[in-house]
Amino acid sequence: MISHSISLVSKHLKAANASVKKIEESLKELEALVKTQKGYAKKELSKVIKKKTTHLTELKAHVAEGNQVLVDSEKKLKELKSKDAKKEEDIDKKLIQKAITKNNQAWQTKYDLAEKTNE
């Protein structure tokens, strides 16, 4: 479940980063265009630049937050995998110990039978 969430967050972060680049390119073009304009056109283009800059700032904040979520999620997944590996190791140890105990019991039974037949 976490790995699926990680892949979705990663996918959305890639898309958001692509949007950031497009907005930055668009802003550069608009800033170059506003330099060539006068009067009302310049005023309106300045408003557009301001709105895009605000949007860009918000988007970058979301990307930063998403990156932190991604890092935290990957850390959590790693911890869970580590715990699962430890549980599997503990289970393996218990199974091995159980097998050794049964084997020892079987040998003890054989030994006891051999002792009784030798009496």
Domain spans of the chain?
A: 2-118
Please give the pLDDT value at position 27.
95
Residue 103 amino acid letter: N
pLDDT at 113 over 70: no
Rg for the chain (alpha carbons), in Å?
A: 33
What single-letter DSSP state applies at residue 1? -
The Cα–Cα gap between 73 and 2 comes to 7
Q: How far apart are CA 65 and CA 3, in angstroms?
A: 18
Q: pLDDT: is 117 or 50 the higher one?
A: 50
pLDDT at 111 over 70: no
Looking at the chain, the whole-number percentage of residues with pLDDT higher than 70 is 91
Residue 54 neighbours by CB distance under 10 Å: 10
Contact between residue 30 and residue 49 where contact means Cβ atoms under 8 Å apart: yes
Confidence at residue 116, expressed as pLDDT on a 0 to 100 scale: 66
Structure tokens at 30: 């608009």
Over residues 7-47, the pLDDT tens digits come to 888 888 999 999 999 999 999 999 999 999 999 999 999 99
pLDDT higher for 37 or 90? 37
pLDDT of residue 112: 67
Give the separation between CA 13 and CA 50, rounded to whole angstroms. Answer: 24
